[in-house]
Amino acid sequence: MTDTDKLAEDRTDWAEDRTVMANERTFAGWMRTGMASLGIAIGLSAVFKEAEPTWVAKSVAMIFILIALIIFQMARRAACKVQTRLDSHRAEPQNTKGITLLTAIFSTGALATGAILWWL
């Protein structure tokens, strides 16, 4: 292997590592988007708390909670799919079990938020 080939291989390895890290940043961005959807649900519930009938405001808030759950699951699926396809070299990627666990925690929190908003 010549020096030029070695440099080209190193650059390819670094590019793959950057892609691994970009995948993790993308996952984090989608999780933030899901949390923003939860924030909208909480805000709607607070703003329209006194509205009659109450089930209308609660139903609209629940739509945003469902959107958050969908975003969390789509983010997990996409991140795990990309993660299994890529080879990391020097970067230490988050494993798919960690991504799935984090998604489960966020989803449980979203469901709990929905339950609290509905029964308050």
At 14 the pLDDT is 64
pLDDT tops 70 at residue 105: yes
Question: pTM value?
Answer: 0.85
Structure tokens belonging to residue 102: 């984090």
Establish how many alpha carbons lie within 13 A of residue 69's alpha carbon, considering only the half-sphere containing its beta carbon: 14
Domain layout of the chain by residue ranges:
3-119
Q: Kindly give, in sequence order, each residue whose CB lies less than 8 Å from that of residue 18, ignoring residues fewer than 6 positions away.
A: 91
pLDDT in tens, 63-97: 999 999 999 999 999 999 988 877 666 667 678 89
Tell me the per-residue pLDDT of 47-65, one tens digit each, with 9 for 90 and over. 988 888 989 989 999 999 9
